[in-house]
A and B are shown apart, each in its own frame.
Chain A
Amino acid sequence: MSSALNDVAKAPLPILQLVDVYKRFNEFTAVSGISLNILDGEFLTVVGPSGSGKTTLLRMLAGMEAPSDGNITLRGELINNVPAKQRPTCLVFQSLALFPHKTVGENIEFPLKVKSVPPAQRKERALELLRMLRLPESYYGKNVMKCSGGEKQRVALARAFAYDPDVLLFDEPLSALDYKLKKVLEKELKDLHRESGKTFVYITHSLEEAMVMSDRIAVMSAGKIVQIGTPESIYARPETEFVAEFFGEVNKFPLVRDPERGWFSADTDSAVTLTLPDSLQGAQAATLIVRPEYMRFASAPDEFDNVIRGSVFNEYSLGSRIQYQVRCGEKSVLIEIPRTLARDAALDQQVMIGWNAADAFVAEA
């Protein structure tokens, strides 16, 4: 697992820097004090639930909104009030914003027409981009509204590349597509990132998209960045309950510190062995979070640091993996194991499940 610090060492130059940036709309604060370095050539994904302020953040990077407070610099130059058309950034909209009255070719050529590039050269470049985006050259004269969802996606990308920006910004462009196509385009986008060497800033609410494509992921909640790091580090070492829950299913155990029994889970009526982070050393309550895939069926009560008993209520097939819902009294616990280890006739079996302290994380209560 490489850490976020290593990435910085590889590409130390930030292309865009945000320092304590705020954006307020009347009463509402959409972005609330974000400081962030976007590195030259990286693929940074900002994830967060809808309403977390990620689109506003992106529009400020694009130059469609000005920050209410704080500074945005591009290669060290302040660009707070530089309008979109003067920035070397280009936004790919959620709606794609293709011009419906123009052909595929005219759409791609638009930024070149703006720069008064002669028609012959424009066409040459447009055809080149069509090839790069794996669209047939015959699409040049096609009505853009007659293209399929994935083709429109590629046209929008080609148009953005025609502008030749240093930074490409993406506002959930894949959200409207079906699952299979999304999977294909995610990989294509990552390939395109590698081929072009440009900086990509991508926002999405989809964990999967973020995991597949990004060099780094920034998690946003309520206008703030709550954690930033490589996909692996965010998945394995979430710093808050919010991040943990956002990145996949979790089992949560509210804990209290009992003077006699130590850390104790009221839900399962059992003492818990855990590794407490420094920030929570003096705390009297906390939340223990264990991902289902770190849970295992135990054959003996001392096989893992923690073992609880329950009965299997239901099973869910996830393809190569399988999930069981185990009821331990009132508490439901999810456990996920490879299909090869699946149990026969699991329903209503009495089982022990366990996990090691190192695989669980403890967040503020």
Chain B
Amino acid sequence: MHDSDAPPVVSTGLRYASPVLLFLLLGFLAPLVTVVAYAFASPKSFEVFTSFTLANFSAVLDSSNTVWTSFVWSLGLAAACTIILALIAYPIAYGLNHAFGRFSSLVSVLFVFPLFISENVRLYGWVQFFIKNGVVDGLLNALGLGPGPEVLYTPGITLFGMVYVYLPFMLFPMTLGLSMVPRDLIDAAADLGAGRFMVWREVELPLAMPGILIGMLLTFVLAVGAVAEAKILGGQSVITVVHDIEIAFTYAQDWPLGAALAVLLVLIIGGLTLAVLSRLDLDRVLGRR
């Protein structure tokens, strides 16, 4: 597959990758390095690259401080969100591969489309659905069934909002994963006497695992960084990590503290992502080779 000319010093692949790599170096890696640098700067200062202290980290880990609770909330909500979404998305991903026939591309487009609407617009729609005199409450009142349930501004509705926003991120990798299971293998397993559960456990699930794992990872990682759901639907009944980071950066004007929090978050996310990605062969997942 190499070009036939005299071998260049830099391979064609690297040459083509270099603009993207350079851009990500400046737009992704450099900001992360800055965050790390700020995390070691003196508290409440802007003396980046000039001072070095671990004070910000000890402030975060200090048990008298309540910052750690936001970590617990974020991780807990993200885990719950991932599990719920896996259960919600699996039948749909299966359907997109096997049950919707010629409608499956239309159905996929319908599931993709919400990605192109900003999440705050979609979440605000739910506010109007659940709010006093909104759709639920107004309908129940009109029917004489009394006021609607007060679900807004609770941790539960925050989780609901996350499940709602991150559905496509679970669904599409999962669909891709299930499409990697050759039809013949399922037929063969059934032909050899396996029941539906056996086929699922022995053949379908293990072969679709790369896609399912990517879906779960993506959902978890994005959900750990969720903030809009907690603010718009949750009414700050839950403070998520990113909300705390944002507060540190804006109202509190304590950039080093915010940066320290961000570094801890990035460590969790990055560690998890690299651990999962290093086990996957992306050529197989994407290219079905």
Question: What are the residues of chain B within 8 A of A111 when measuring CB–CB?
Answer: 192-193
How many residues on the B side are at the interface (Cβ–Cβ under 8 A)?
Answer: 17
Taking the complex as formed, is A236 at the interface, i.e. its CB lies under 8 A from any CB of chain B? no
CB <8 Å contact, B191 and A115? no
Residue in chain B with minimal CB distance to A110: B192
- A312–B185 Cα distance when bound, in Å, is 54
| B197 → A minimal CB distance (Å) | 11
Question: What are the residues of chain B within 8 A of A95 when measuring CB–CB?
Answer: 182, 184
Taking the complex as formed, is A252 at the interface, i.e. its CB lies under 8 A from any CB of chain B? no
| A72 → B minimal CB distance (Å) | 16
Question: What are the residues of chain A within 8 A of B202 when measuring CB–CB?
Answer: 99, 110, 113
Which of A84-92, A132-140, A225-233 is near enough to bind chain B?
A84-92
Taking the complex as formed, is B61 at the interface, i.e. its CB lies under 8 A from any CB of chain A? no
- A99–B190 Cα distance when bound, in Å, is 13
Known: A97-B182, A110-B202. A64 touches B191 (CB 8 A): yes
| B90 → A minimal CB distance (Å) | 19
Taking the complex as formed, is A242 at the interface, i.e. its CB lies under 8 A from any CB of chain B? no
Taking the complex as formed, is B187 at the interface, i.e. its CB lies under 8 A from any CB of chain A? yes
Question: What are the residues of chain A within 8 A of B191 when measuring CB–CB?
Answer: 62-64, 84-85, 89-91, 163
Per a CB cutoff under 8 Å, which of A85, A97, A100, A101 touches B193? A85
Taking the complex as formed, is B31 at the interface, i.e. its CB lies under 8 A from any CB of chain A? no
- A110–B206 Cα distance when bound, in Å, is 15
Question: What are the residues of chain A within 8 A of B192 when measuring CB–CB?
Answer: 85, 90, 110-111, 114, 159-160, 163
Could you tell me which B residues sit within 8 Å of A by CB distance?
Answer: 182, 184-185, 187-195, 198, 202-203, 206-207
Query: Can you name 26 A-B residue pairings with CB atoms under 8 Å?
Result: A63-B191, A64-B190, A64-B191, A83-B190, A85-B190, A85-B192, A85-B194, A89-B191, A90-B192, A91-B187, A93-B184, A93-B187, A95-B182, A95-B184, A97-B182, A97-B184, A97-B185, A99-B203, A101-B206, A110-B192, A110-B202, A111-B192, A113-B202, A114-B194, A159-B192, A160-B192
Could you tell me which A residues sit within 8 Å of B by CB distance?
Answer: 62-64, 83-85, 89-91, 93, 95, 97, 99-101, 110-111, 113-115, 159-160, 163
